[in-house]
Amino acid sequence: MGSMSKREKDHQSLDPEVTEKLRNQAAELVEQVNAGDYARAMTLINDLSEVRDQSLYREVGRLTRSLHEAIRNFQIDPRNAEQSEALSMMSDASDRLEYVVQMTSKAANRTMDLVEEAMPRASSMRDEAAELRDEWQRLRRREMKPSEFRALYARIDTFFINLNADAGATYDNLSEILLAQDFQDLTGQVIQKVTTLVKEVEEHLLNLVVMASHVDQMTGTVHELEEKEKESSEKGVGPQINSEEREDVVSGQDDVDDLLSSLGF
Amino acid sequence: MKILIVDDFSTMRRIIKNLLRDLGFTNTDEADDGNTALPMLKSGKYDFLVTDWNMPGMSGLDLLKEVRADDDLKTLPVLMVTAEAKRDQIVSAAQAGVNGYVVKPFTAAVLKEKIEKIFERIQ
C-alpha cells in the first residue's frame, strides 16, 4: 500500500499532458516492437526521451522561479518602519550576536568591579566588628582597665562612623550591580530576533531541499551521501543543552564525581 | 603556592581568580589558551594548574597531555574547570591524567572541595 501511494504521488507531480503523451507513445512502442518495425520503435524511444527532457526543463523552470521567490523572500524589502527596524536587526545577525557577547561581557566585568570594590570593605567591617565584640565581652566581664575602656570608647565611636560610610558605599555598589543587569532586556530582544531569523532560514532551506528532491525525482538521480565525520570531542564541543534527557552527558557535578569514582578516582 | 588559570574568557578567569583568593591563594597568573600557558608553565615554577577545555589554539586536554609528557611538569596537579559534559570526555580527561574535574556552572563550594581534595592527595 505504501509503495502504491508513492507511485500515485509521482504521477501527480508530473504534468497530465506529459503522462498522457508517455502512455500513448509507450503503447505505440509495444505495438511497433510486436509488429517488428524496429526503426519506428527507435524513433519512438527518442520521442519518449524528448518528452522526459521537456518535462524536466519545465520542472527546472518551475524550480528556478520558486528558488528566485525564496531568495527574494530572504531579502524582504521593508514595507513599513516596523519591518525596516526588524530587518536592520536581522540583516547582520552575527554582528548582533557579537553585540550580545560584548554587552554580557561588559555587564559581567562591571559587576565584578563593584563586587571587588565591596568585598574588602565588607571583610574589614566583619574583622573590626569581631574584635570589638571580643573587647566588649572583656568589658562585660569587668576585665578592662579604665585606660583600655577609654581606648575602646573611642574605637567604637570610629567604628560607628566607618560602619555608616562603608554600609552606605556597599549599598551603592549593590544598587549599581542591580542596574548592570539591564543588559538582559537588550540582549534578550536581540537573541529573540536572531532566533526568528534562524527559524525563517530553516524553513526556506527546507523548501530548497524539497525542490531539489523534485529534480532528483525527475532525473532519477541518486546521491551517494558521504557519512558525516563524527564530531570530535577532543577539541571540546561546549555546553550541552538538555543534558537531563541525554545518556552520554553528565547532568551535573554529582554525575562527574560518580563517573570519576567509578574510574578509581 | 603559585597557580596558573587558563581560560579563553577573561570573566571566567576573573571569577576563578576571586574564588582562589577567597581560599587564600593570592599568587595567580592567567593565560587565555594552551599555547600561551605552556611556555609560562615551563618557565614559571607553578604549583597548580586550573584550565578550561574548549579554547581556541591549544585545548585544555592537549595542554594536559603536554604537561604529562614533559619531564619537569608531569607531576603538576591539574584541575579542569569546563562546560564539557560528555561522559567520554570526562573519561578521556581522566585517562590523560587530570587530578580533578569541575563542570560549569559550578559553585564556590565545589571548587573549594575539589582543590582541597587534590592537595590532600598530594601531601
- Per-residue pLDDT reduced to its tens digit, A48-92: 888 877 777 777 777 777 767 765 665 555 566 665 665 565 556
Q: In what order do the strands lie in the sheet with B100-103?
A: B28-31, B3-6, B48-51, B78-82, B100-103
Q: What ipTM, to 2 d.p.?
A: 0.82
Average pLDDT for A117-124? 94
List the one residue out of A255, A148, A49, A223 whose CA is nearest residue B101: A255
Strand partners, B103: B82
Residue with cell 562585660: A140
The pLDDT of residue A205 is 76
Residue B34 has pLDDT above 60, yes or no: yes
Say which residue, A72 or A104, is predicted with more confidence. Answer: A104
Task: Please give the Cα distance from B9 to A133 (Å, whole number).
Answer: 42
Give SS3 for B4.
strand
Sign of the CA dihedral with A187 first, then A192, A193, and A195 last? positive
The angle, 0 to 180 degrees and rounded to 10, between the axes of the packed helices A93-140 and A146-179 is: 160
Q: Which of A47-61, A180-194, B21-35, B107-121 has the lowest mean pLDDT?
A: A47-61
Q: How far is CA A231 from CA A166, A227, B40, B98, in A?
A: 53, 12, 31, 23
Residues in chain A, total: 265
Contact B22, B50 (CB under 8 A): no
Contact A111, A180 (CB under 8 A): yes
Q: How far is CA B54 from CA A91, A117, A190, A228, B39, in A?
A: 29, 31, 25, 22, 19
Q: Do A259 and B90 touch (CB under 8 A)?
A: yes
pTM above 0.90, yes or no: no
Average pLDDT for B2-28? 92
Q: Do A236 and B92 touch (CB under 8 A)?
A: no
Q: Which of residues 37-66 of B touch A (CB under 8 A)?
A: 53-55, 59-62
**Using a CB-CB distance cutoff of 8 angstroms, which residues of chain A are in contact with residue B82?**
236
Best of B86, B98, B110, B111 to substitute, by most chain A Cβ atoms within 10 angstroms, is B86
Bridging pattern class, strands B28-31 and B48-51: unpaired
Best of B7, B9, B11 to substitute, by most chain A Cβ atoms within 10 angstroms, is B11
Residue A240 has pLDDT above 50, yes or no: yes
Residue A174 has pLDDT above 90, yes or no: yes
